[in-house]
Structure 1
Amino acid sequence: MTTPVLQLPRHISHSSRESLERCAKQYFLTRVAKAPQTPALWLAGGSAVHEATEAYDLWTFPPDTGEEFPLLDYWEGCFNGQLAEAYEEEEDSNKWRSSKTEPIEVWRAHGLAFVQSWIDWRERSPWEIWTTPDGMPAIELDVSGKLPGCEVEIKAFLDRVFWDPVLKKLVIVDLKTGKRAPRNADQFGTYAALLTAKYGVQVDLGVAFMNRRGGLGTPYDMTEYTPEFVGGIFGKAWELIQGYARDGSFPADTSDCFLCDVKSSCHAQNGPLAHLYDPASPGYGTRF
């Protein structure tokens, strides 16, 4: 019997901090143990929407050639590419996590409409895609870096940053293809602090674009989300991760496992792969 040697990641992100708060075991299995994750159709579709909208914004970013954006071709290419990646992870699409009301062919149509809703909004909105001081369009912008109070890098990629020429404000926009709007401002606050730390600019607002509704959600004020404030939050999360690692615990929260994509590797869920990935399993480390 051999026990796997596991290394903590040397970075953290908003999504990994959320995972840690939701269930430390899920964080461990996905981020540390690298357990296999069951594909989710809604994630494949959402990623394809992000890819296609990014392509549109880059296509129309100055200097705009005026040529029509080939929406259908881009959408089909993005969606089929995401499906191919999911099939590589699990050949049987019946085992994917998905909604009964939104199978693949429904997503194929809905996803196209979600991209079109973004295009329609972009065409009527006065907001302009912001250009960074180093000349980069703020489209899928990498603002990863360190903040005061957190010793590790915080990873973050911003869907878009816009300049409102009327109110003279910087606005972070995150595309959401799900039905639920963000519960709070934390994601935008993380992004705002990192953007400020990297470029020295003040971010005024953060808001979700709800692709299903074709419009913006509730805007959040970014005033309190300074680099110091956000860095302190992530610093505490990193300390918690290190504490769990020292104890070898990473406790499981089984109150809501419906959307978990690593249940097959979780001892608390009697997962068939738990002996390979979960130290809580009596057979952990066994190879057959």
Structure 2
Amino acid sequence: MLQLPDHTSHSARETLERCARAYFLTRVAKAPQAPSLWLAGGSAVHETTEFYDLLRVGEAGDGTPEELMAFEVAGIWESCFNVQLGKAWEREDDESKWRSSKTEPIEVWRSMGLQFVQAYIEWRERSPWEIWIAPDGQPAIELDVSGKLPGCDVEIKAFLDRVFWDPVMKKLVIVDIKTSKKPPKTAAQFGTYAALLKVKYDVDVTMGAPFMNRKAALGTPFDLAEYTPEFVGEIFAAAWKQIQSGYFPANGFPGECFICDVKSSCAAQNGPLAPQYDPASPGYPPPF
């Protein structure tokens, strides 16, 4: 029997907003998701940069970050990328069925991903910003700030790529690492994180910015002043109410369906797996 999730997240709410049917298929029906090369590469970049920053704050291994990373960054990247590729192959061994860009196949990603990692490391070495240490002693590297917000009784899962302390402006800055070509269009992700940080640690964060690996620089920062716990809690409460209603129309923009990882299970896309996973399919439910 299908069950609704017991938590939500920014990405879940974003999926719901983009296409409610896609949310249902991924989060409720658990339809198989086609692997994507860009997600595998992006995850490996995140893992490698995370290892680097943990070294910088003394949370991983022995020796200085400079000594270790000078010799091992390429090897760490390669190892992380291979692990992510292995996970993708486990889900689908036919690479032609993966979501990927024709101009960025696996071998291009092998060199490009390493460049993305090096771009981040070079920025970190130039920047005066420091990894923030939370009141409970946790360095703000993949920091877990999951919790509930006012007006919303469901847990919101959130892991922040980084929170930095700017010693010049004397303020905290949320940074999210982005290997995509385009920067985020809105402040919603950063605002969600700021609200959860406020609830968990009682700190105010009024700025968030993406680190755009392809440009080796921070993107345009977002002002987060309006994203109070109450404001964000109201947004998530409305989304959770929609989820509980059980109404999941296929309302995505047609031009975006090509990047959807569950379109093979979507009746609106005539997906071959739709009779197994999509209640809108004439053949649903499956006879087993």
Alignment TM class, shorter chain as reference: over 0.9
CA deviations 1:131-164 (Å, max 9, x no partner) are 0001010000010000001110011100000000
Q: Quick one: which amino acid aligns to residue 79 of structure 2?
A: G
Per-residue deviation, 1:65: 3.3
Instruction: Report the more deviating stretch, 55-64 or 122-131.
Output: 55-64
| 1:137 corresponds to 2:139 | yes
| 1:251 paired residue number | 249
- Say whether residues 1:232 and 2:237 are aligned partners: no
Paired amino acid for 2:31: A
TM-aligned CA deviation for residue 203 of structure 1: 0.6
Partner-residue secondary structure (3-state), 1:68: helix
Equivalents in 2 of 1:287, 1:166: separation in Å? 64
The 5-angstrom pairing of residues 1-288 of structure 1 reads 5-62=1-58, 65-66=63-64, 67-69=67-69, 70-243=72-245, 245=246, 249-254=247-252, 255=254, 256-287=256-287
CA–CA separation in structure 1 for the residues paired with 2:29 and 2:128: 46
Letter in 1 for 2:267: H
Give the superposition deviation at 1:94.
Answer: 1.2
Aligned equivalents of 1:282 and 1:163: distance in 2? 55
Q: CA RMSD in A?
A: 1.2
Paired with 2:133 and 2:56, the residues of 1 have a C-alpha distance of: 14
- Structure 2 letter corresponding to 1:196: K
**Shift of residue 204, structure 1, vs aligned partner:** 2.2
Distance across 1 between alignment mates of 2:287 and 2:63: 57
- Partner Cα separation in structure 1 for residue 128 and residue 63 of structure 2: 20
Measure, in 2, the Cα distance between the counterparts of 1:286 and 1:35: 13
> Could you tell me how far apart the structure 1 residues matched to 2:203 and 2:77 are?
34
Rounded Cα–Cα distance in structure 2 between residues aligned with 1:74 and 1:36: 29
CA distance in 2, matches of 1:286, 1:209: 45
1:253: how far off?
2.1
TM-score relative to the length of structure 1: 0.95
Matched residues in 2 for 1:212 and 1:152: separation?
A: 36
Deviation, structure 1 residue 241: 1.0
User: For residues 272 and 221 of structure 1, what CA distance do their matches in structure 2 show?
Assistant: 44
One-letter amino acid of the counterpart of residue 51, structure 1? E
Q: Which moved more, 1:255-264 or 1:119-128?
A: 255-264
Runs of 4+ in 1 over 6 A off after TM superposition: none
For structure 2, list consecutive stretches of 5 or more residues without a partner in the other structure.
none
CA–CA separation in structure 2 for the residues paired with 1:105 and 1:195: 39
- Residue 73 of structure 1 deviates from its aligned partner by 1.1
**C-alpha displacement at 1:60, in angstroms?**
1.6
Distance 2:287 2:83 in 1: 33
For the residue of structure 2 that corresponds to 1:35, the secondary structure is coil
Per-residue CA deviation, residues 209-257 of structure 1 (Å, 9 max, x unaligned), is 00010000011111111100000000001011112x1xxx411025231
Q: Which runs of 5+ in 1 are unaligned?
A: none
What SS does the corresponding residue of 1:39 show, helix, strand or coil?
coil
TM-superposition CA deviations, 1:98-135 (whole Å, max 9, x none): 00000000000000000000000000000000000010
Percentage of pairs with the same residue: 70
Give the number of equivalent residue pairs. Answer: 280
